[in-house]
Amino acid sequence: MTFGARFVAALAERGPFCVGIDPHAALLHEWGLDDDVAGLETFALSVVEAVAPLCSMVKPQSAFYERFGSRGVAVLERVVAESRAAGALVLMDVKRGDIGTTSQAYADAYLDPASPLGSDAVTVSPFLGFGSLDPFVDTARKHDGGLFVLALTSNKEGPEVQHARTDTGETVADRMLDHLRALNADASPLGSFGAVVGATIGETGADLAFNGPILAPGFGAQGGTVDDIRRIFGASAGQVAASSSREVLRAGPDHGAMQDAVRRANDDLRGLR
């Protein structure tokens, strides 16, 4: 199955809530853990055990593992393997963007099933030009993987680039969405090339109908609501995986509390489909 087809099936079966597994130092301390590899491992694998059997997709942020070097990356490898074994899609949140052979190496690292970090999909940055993502696109097609391309993010710095006008007068974000529209043309039930669009952005006028999956970070504790998702995405709301980390992770280390947080979020979001 293509990633687009797996995405549709996962959201239908498990709901549209995506859990970010982001073990930053403050959360480790809230759990009573030390900010070291042992604390990282306990935290991350406990979250996987609690939520991966329930949610459609998990999204580990690679930076929080990389900061511990090779031993932290080894934990990330286990997060990927154990999440997929539990039936969750894995979106590796790395926001990579480069050119040529370097871009290809990143694509192989995160999308090739032979890689210890091989995931279902990866976040990428198109701001070296969308064509710089060609190795990611080709590798995703080869391995039935997916991409989530930064398009309209919620951070205050984003509009400097994303709302800038191109040589044809459209915004940079609109140009990126047009590229995704072309990549996903005629795909059924959904294309595999998605966009990252924040759950707390204001009005943009962007056309978010591009036949691909949408990741909406910022849901829940960061302020995004179901009404925001309806407002922003309109008819495309059924293609949205709303993502939160703190909403769930602060309920730990109690597994039952984390699972209840996932269930509540999915219950809130199911009406979008």
Query: What residues are annotated to the active site?
Result: 95
Q: Name the nearest CA neighbour of 22 among 83, 103, 71, 76.
A: 76
Residue 223 has what DSSP assignment? S
Residue 106 has what DSSP assignment? H
Angle CA(182)–CA(184)–CA(187) in degrees, nearest 5?
A: 135
C-beta of residue 247 within 8 angstroms of C-beta of residue 219: yes
C-beta of residue 164 within 8 angstroms of C-beta of residue 172: yes
CA distance 54 to 61: 19
CA distance 222 to 247: 8
C-beta of residue 211 within 8 angstroms of C-beta of residue 195: no
C-beta of residue 145 within 8 angstroms of C-beta of residue 121: yes
Tokens of 48: 């996987």
Burial category of 208 from C-beta neighbours within 10 Å (exposed 0-12, middle 13-18, buried 19 and up):
buried
If one counts every other C-beta atom within 10 angstroms of the C-beta of residue 129, the result is 10
CA distance 260 to 50: 10
Instruction: Name the H helices within 168-244.
Output: 172-183, 226-233
